[in-house]
């Protein structure tokens, strides 16, 4: 095609720019998090656990707990992209949108809205199986120790504790999923895949396991398998815009252009931050269908949402090439 060679593939930009985005520059920033109930705007109780995740991945880099008024703080974070996971008794596990920690803002605030456990519905986020609700206390204790070690990047200690949790309770999908994260950090993709497959077998409604396995498949260029996993994950967590963006990207790479456009458009119908890449994905799909005016519009929206940085420079090059071709 006429634009071949102009940019790296969509998946390369997506993985470099989103899945692996931890530090995008020099400097540090501080983050305050306020957790509120979505149906009342009231703050949540103390001791809900907040996991700070790097980029788009489910890899914790820090942990904090809410105060009496629902606040928590993370200090001196490297500049980069993050998202938050909030979990604890009485609420549904909640995954925030991705956001950027910017050193130009000394302290910035992110609000996360959660739903009470009683408000759970079949279509309203990651479902908790009966097996997850029946986790023995000693398994939960090992799970917490494993997660704490994971946030400290003590991979072998995390592996030890998470394996103990699974030995005590083999149906522990969350522990198996985090064990997959540990094996990913240890560069052991065989064990990573095995742990994630066991997590899905333990709870086939646990979206994080599908998503993490899909990311592993993307790294291994298994795009058809990744798309299948994401198509199973999205209905389980239909408001997860980041997961939907990954699905759009796989549909693009598998030459399902109408589906990629539809998924990218759904991303921007959901609450989200810092997901301009969805517009790039839609633009590439439009280019393949020779709908160049639509492609130009999507590229321009990308630049409105992300005007600075190396990705924006690549998009400007692509935009100029498309416009030249239209003349």
| Ordered structural domains, the chain, with CATH | 27-120 (2.60.40.10)
Instruction: Name the strands in the sheet holding 28-37, side by side, starting at the edge strand that comes first in the sequence.
Output: 71-78, 28-37, 107-114
DSSP state of 52: E
pLDDT at 168: 96
Encode pLDDT of 38-92 as tens digits.
766 677 766 788 989 887 666 678 888 888 778 888 887 888 888 898 988 778 8
Query: Which of 49, 52, 47, 98 lies closest to 77, judged by CA?
Result: 52
Q: What's the count of helices (H) and strands (E) in the chain, helices before strands?
A: 13, 8
Structure tokens at 57: 């991945």
**Span 203-232, pLDDT tens digits:** 998 888 999 999 999 999 999 999 999 999
**E strands present in 48-132:** 49-54, 60-65, 71-78, 80-87, 94-95, 99-101, 107-114
Q: What is the mean pLDDT of each run of 10 residues along the chain (327 residues)?
A: 42 47 54 81 75 76 81 83 84 82 74 70 46 78 87 90 96 92 94 96 91 93 95 88 91 95 89 79 94 94 87 89 87
pTM for the model: 0.69
Q: What is the pLDDT of residue 255?
A: 93
């Amino acid at each position: 095609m006429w634009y071949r060679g102009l940019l790296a593939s969509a998946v390369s930009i997506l993985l470099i720019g989103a899945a692996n985005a931890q530090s995008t520059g020099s400097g540090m920033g501080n983050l305050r998090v306020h957790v509120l109930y979505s149906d009342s705007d009231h703050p949540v109780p103390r001791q809900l656990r907040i996991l700070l995740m790097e980029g788009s991945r489910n890899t914790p880099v820090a942990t904090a707990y809410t105060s009496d008024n629902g606040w928590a703080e993370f200090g001196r974070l490297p500049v980069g992209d993050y998202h938050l996971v909030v979990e604890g008794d009485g609420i549904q596990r909640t995954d925030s949108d991705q956001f950027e920690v910017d050193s130009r803002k000394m302290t910035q605030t992110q609000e996360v809205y959660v739903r009470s456990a009683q408000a759970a519905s079949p279509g309203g986020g990651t479902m908790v199986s009966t097996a997850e609700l029946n986790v023995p206390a000693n398994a939960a204790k090992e799970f917490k120790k494993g997660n704490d070690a994971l946030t400290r990047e003590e991979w072998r200690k995390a592996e030890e504790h998470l394996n103990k949790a699974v030995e005590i309770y083999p149906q522990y999908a969350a522990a198996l999923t985090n064990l997959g994260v540990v094996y990913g950090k240890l560069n052991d993709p065989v064990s990573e895949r095995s742990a994630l497959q066991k997590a899905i077998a333990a709870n086939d409604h646990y979206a994080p396991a599908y998503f993490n396995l899909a990311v592993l498949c993307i790294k291994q260029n298994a795009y058809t398998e990744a798309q299948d996993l994401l198509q199973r994950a999205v209905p389980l967590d239909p408001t997860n815009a980041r997961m939907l963006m990954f699905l759009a990207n796989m549909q693009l790479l598998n030459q399902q252009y109408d589906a990629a456009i539809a998924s990218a458009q759904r991303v921007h119908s959901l609450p989200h931050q810092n997901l301009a890449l969805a517009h790039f994905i839609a633009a590439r799909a439009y280019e393949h269908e020779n709908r160049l005016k639509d492609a130009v519009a999507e590229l321009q929206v990308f630049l409105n949402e992300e005007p600075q940085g190396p990705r924006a420079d690549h998009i400007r090059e692509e935009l100029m090439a498309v416009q030249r071709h239209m003349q």
